[in-house]
Amino acid sequence: MNRSPRLTPPRPEPYHVADMNVKSETVANAKNAASSGGSEGRENLLGRSVPELEKLFHALGEKPYRGKQVGEWMYARGATAFDSMTNLPAALRAKLNEEFGIGVLRERSRRETPDRKTRKVGYEIPGGGIVESVYMSTPSRHTFCLSSQHGCAFACRFCATGRMGRGRNLTAAEIVEQAFRLRGELPPGRSEYNIVMMGMGEPLENYEAVVDALTLLSDPSGMAVPPKRITISTVGLAPQIVRLADQGLRFRLAVSLHAATDAQRSKLMPVNQRFPLEQLLRAIRHHVERTGRRVTFEYILLEELNDSVADAARLVRLVAQLPCKINLIPYNPIGPGKFKRPSPERIERFAEYLRPRVPAVTVRYSQGVEIGAACGQLAGETET
């Protein structure tokens, strides 16, 4: 039987950090190795832009506008099956069912808080391995926390993902699909949501795939999420922060800071040895100047390590001249270790010192601590 022309999707790429040689201090398991992707021999259409879909349908001998129709069904209406695309001819729907699919992720685990306001979903990726995404809700907003890599090479001491070691980069389609799947869980009548690239992995190490995914997610002909509702979080890869700014990308930037001196930060985050604070702050200033957007600094509070008033004073000296917001995150447990969450009194004392001295300060108690869905807790737990 003759098969239709095929467009080969990008292969998942293994990590490459030639320009930022930061050695992970954990050993990657075989289960974290790179894979070649694939979905039972069928091409995945989810994650392709509308222009790409139009080119594909032209190659199939169909009118290009059929690609736009399929894009509208997937991205605007959330269709997960070609049979629901009722404005396509029946013969074309049958052809699509035979040769193409919508998505490649398979749900393998789910944990929810009793009120269902926080839900952690584990997806199996092609080739094996679990990545986790988190759905978070409050009365006023819904937020999807997406993963960009399976595992992480940067070995931050307080992060469960960093203990996994190297895995592989997710493709743009795999990143888009996480948002696509979580959007299907929004309550009736709700369509607005935020996206934060704060799940497993370092988004700016998987730069091209993350930017491609977020470009599609924010495209009016894609999932139409306003750029101001999308945040990219980074451990502090200075060259990529500059690159984001120079490309004119308007997504919000969050930087994991966690300490205000190089000596202290290097103990918590080995990446600081490659990109120390002076270089990192220079890149952040460039980003602020080029984009006109303030930066968010994430600061995990660790008892007796970085939570004193003296630490707060050093933090003020470091960032007070920048248009910024500081998110203080009381430490979330990830198993045996030396780190502890400070007492409520120490947390409040730290925050009160900052509040009159920096533009904005929030104490962010993470949702989903009890189900392992909070900041620093994601690690593909079904693999353990």
Residue 298 near residue 292 (C-beta atoms within 8 A): no
Other Cβ atoms closer than 10 A to 329: 22
For 261, phi and psi rounded to 5 degrees? -130, 150
With both helix axes pointing from N to C terminus, report the angle between 172-183 and 207-218 in degrees, rounded to the nearest 10: 40
Q: Which residue in the list 54, 62, 124, 132 is annotated as catalytic?
A: 132
Distance CA 308, CA 304 (A): 7
Residue 198 near residue 164 (C-beta atoms within 8 A): no
For 299, phi and psi rounded to 5 degrees? -135, 105
Distance CA 254, CA 294 (A): 9
Which residues, in sequence order, are CB contacts of 101 under 8 Å at separation 6+? 39, 40, 42, 43, 44, 45, 46
Q: What are the strands of the beta sheet with 295-301, ordered from one edge?
A: 106-112, 118-124, 130-137, 142-145, 194-197, 230-234, 252-256, 295-301, 324-330, 361-363
* Range list of β-strands (E), the chain: 43-44, 100-101, 106-112, 118-124, 130-137, 142-145, 149-152, 165-169, 194-197, 230-234, 252-256, 295-301, 324-330, 361-363
Q: Which residue in the list 145, 159, 324, 375 is annotated as catalytic?
A: 375
Distance CA 355, CA 373 (A): 28
Distance CA 125, CA 138 (A): 29
Q: Is 132 a catalytic residue?
A: yes
What distances in angstroms separate CA 210 from CA 139, 165, 196, 269, one per listed residue?
Answer: 29, 20, 11, 22
Catalytic residues: 132, 375
